[in-house]
Amino acid sequence: MSGELTWRDAEKSDRPALEQFTCTGPAPKGPNHRPLPHPRPWEQEAQTGIRTRKPPGATRDIYRVGTTADGTIVAVAVAGTLDEPSYTNTYKLMVLAVATSVRGAGGEVADACMRDVLGQIGHRARADGLAAVLVLSQVDPHNEPSRSMCQRHEFTSAGVRGDYEVWIRHIAIEPLRA
Ligand SMILES: CC(C)(COP(=O)(O)OP(=O)(O)OC[C@H]1O[C@@H](n2cnc3c(N)ncnc32)[C@H](O)[C@@H]1OP(=O)(O)O)[C@@H](O)C(=O)NCCC(=O)NCCS
C-alpha cells in the first residue's frame, strides 16, 4: 500500500479533509444516544488534535500527510522543535496517526509515515547545520500500537514524564558530499 502513497507537506486546502480525519472508532452510545466514554481516549485525543490543528501551522512545524492516488489523506504526522532551553536540537513528534481504513494491516502505512517524518526532520536539521538531532515521542502507556511503532523505528525508552512514556531516537546527520 505504501508504494502507492504520496508524501507531502500539508496545505491550507487540506483543512476540510483533516477536520474529518478518522483514526479511531466512534464513541459508543448509551441510552437516548448519549455518547459514552471512548474505549481508547488516547486515540480520540490524537484524532481531535489532527481535526483541530490547522496546517500549515507554526512556521517551524513539520506537517506531513500521506495520500492515496485519488488524493485521500490516510496518514498524518506533525513534528516541531521544543523551545525549552534543556531541549536544544530536539524535535517532538506531536502526532502521528493513520486512518482507520488502513489500520490493522501490519503497520505498513504507519511505518512509511514515520520514515517520511524522520526523513523530513533530518532534512531540516541538515539545512540548519546540525550534526545530530534528538526526536522525542510521548506515548500514552495504554497505546500499544504507538509504542510498537516507536520500537520498530529504533526509539528507546527514556522513562515517564507525567502521564506519558517518553521515547527518544537520536539521528546523526550525514554531511552532504561536496
Ligand atoms: C499509532 C498508529 C499510527 C500505529 O499504526 P499501526 O502500526 O498500523 O498499528 P495499528 O493501528 O494497525 O494497530 C495494531 C494493533 O491494534 C489493533 N487495531 C487494529 N485496527 C484497529 C482499529 N481500527 N482501532 C483500534 N485498534 C486497532 C489490532 O489489535 C492491531 O494488532 P495487530 O498488530 O496484532 O494486528 C495507529 O495505531 C494509529 O493511527 N492510532 C491512532 C492515533 C494514535 O494513537 N497515534 C499515536 C499518538 S499521536
Per-residue pLDDT of the chain (178 residues; tens, 9 = 90+): 645 899 999 999 999 999 999 999 999 999 988 989 999 999 999 999 999 999 988 778 999 999 999 999 999 999 999 877 777 899 999 999 999 999 988 899 999 999 999 999 999 999 999 999 999 999 999 999 999 999 999 999 999 999 999 999 999 998 777 6
Q: In the chain, which ranges are continuous DSSP H helix?
A: 15-18, 41-52, 108-127, 144-152
Q: What is the pTM of this model?
A: 0.93
Ligand 1 atom nearest to 42, measured from its CA: 44
CA distance 109 to 97: 9
Best of 23, 42, 103 for a ligand 1 pocket test (most atoms within 8 Å of beta carbon): 103
Q: What is the CATH number of domain 2-172?
A: 3.40.630.30
Q: Max alpha carbon distance in the chain (Å)?
A: 68
Ligand 1 atom nearest to 93, measured from its CA: 48
For residue 148, give the C-alpha cell: 510498537
CA quadruple 2, 54, 15, 73: dihedral, nearest 10? 10
The Cα-based distances of 99 to 34, 44, 72, 102 in angstroms read: 25, 12, 10, 6
